[in-house]
Structure 1
Amino acid sequence: MQHGKYRFIAGFLIVPLALYAVFVIWPFVQAIYYSFTDWTGLSPDFAMVGFANYSRMLGDDVFWKSLQHSVIFALLLPLVTLGLALFFAFMLNVGGRRRKGAAITGVRGSGFYKIAYFFPQVLSIAIVALLFQFAYNPNDGVINGTLESIGFGDVRPNWLGDPNLALWCVMAVLLWSTVGFFVVLFSAGMASIPKDFYEAALLDGANRFTTFFRITLPLLWDTVQSGWVYMGILALGAEAFAVVQIMTVGPGGPDYSTSVLPLYVYQSAFRDANAAYATTIGVALLIVTLLFAAVVMRLGRRERLEY
């Protein structure tokens, strides 16, 4: 019976595992292989060059700038995004004042706020980037227009044209476009926590601050940890690439102040026609992503709480 059970399980797993190997694992293997060649991406001819691409990458100032910006995104974006999402979700589910028949409730209008926070998820990231590109326009953009209307007409920053501001402008767009998803995710998790826990804590004299750190956060920790990894991968991958590619000068400017690793991979492959070097940067991006996920999972490990 045991052998028959294992054959039955293997029969269901072999097809998805084969598809995963062909469409996920094999492209990674190919990328690592091509990183040791001089392949242009435009010709089937190439030759092995050993570690020449890696030596070039380690001496490439643009690569180090892009790596620095990607690491900043991976460290700060999850921290700020998840922090805001936890705060908003807590207020929408638990942070309201007592009402008749309900000691634990969210703020008034919480249903509307959930829809408003989630609305950016309905829009494509390309549309979001275009909208904020217009908003950041220094001449007739919404942001500088608002500053002028409230009496700060002399303050007209060149948001995306200033190397000291451009990266933070991009980060603000990524924050705005992703925080709503986690608000809804955490709200669903908080809704599953028994209200008796909060009521017992309030009867014991606990305030909202204490209930958040003693009840809500520990019981949501698995969701927060998964969200941290997911948000870090978004910050290191396609979301950051799309926003920088559409919004910034160059793109990646000014003076490479917004360049990130996914964008540099794209530029090396399609602008510079150097696919081998692009795959080398892609391998570095893969290592950074795996290290980020491993560190988050290791530091966030704690005893599982059940209720």
Structure 2
Amino acid sequence: MKLIFSVYTLLVATFIYAQEPEVSYKDLGFTKKIKKVETFTYSMEDKMVLDRSSDSYIFDKNGNITHHEYHIYGKYASSTSENSTYENGLLVKREILVKDRPNFDAIITFQYDKKKNLVKKTYQSKLYKNDFTFSYDDKSQLFEIKGNYANNYSVERFYYEKERLVKSINQYFSRDSIQSETIKLYIHDEVVIECNPKNKLFIVYLNENLQNMVLKMKYPEPIQNLNGIETEITFEELSVLKLKEGLLNDRNKPFRLIEANEVKKQNEHKDWIAQAGIYFRHKKNENYISFRKITYADGSVSGSTDFDIFTVNELNSKLHE
């Protein structure tokens, strides 16, 4: 169950710059101001519900997130809430409370420069404190994030081509030795490929309006193939659609493993109100379905959190096309 929801979060998350917080309705993918969003997700086996979770956001009049709650029910029951504080329109504090697990409670604070760029983020819990510092170039583009932990540190650097983010490299250090490294490639500020040079595969995130997909590509020389795609992203403005077409062709079939797939149902504002997903793990398929109720700032309501078997059947048929 925990794995299903971690994959679910991975699929629907907006991959912007690592460590930057989700603040407004726009960060969650909405184009119209929101007052409240409620989501119920069900773990499924065939047409049986095995478990469920709920996720809700509340926004202020400016469209900023003020409260976020996440609940998992059943065997792995847990409850987490987040309360956000703003000053002059900027997020300055986020308090995280985990029910019955006080050691996981935390306070995150944020500091900004005169240009309103985030320059420092501090994560403080009862057990540890992590600091992140953000540096920018002369165009106010994020250049570097340094993370300081209890016994090690990390450095993530961002690379641009024609003022477009195309790559980042995140390195974790212990006693000044690199312990791990992650390379990411971006299209329109969203991560599309992630690779660890020591692994013989890379992960591809193909996020579109109505379908999200995660692939694992087991190329014999993953870094060489990554460099080829990076060239396309940098000089040919490769789109997610073109990348998807290339990786899903017959030539790449021997190297391709579909890790997760998700399809959505949208309303008239192109906001999703239902989505179904499948995660392929150890030759076993794990399924989920999510229903969402959106209350817009103008008082209009779209969608419902009620379980609807007709929508389940509709989305599952698209999922297996």
TM-score normalised by L of structure 1? 0.26
Structure showing the higher strand proportion among its residues: 2
Q: Which has the higher contact order (CA 8 A, sep 6+)?
A: 1
Q: What TM-score do you get using the length of structure 2 for normalisation?
A: 0.25
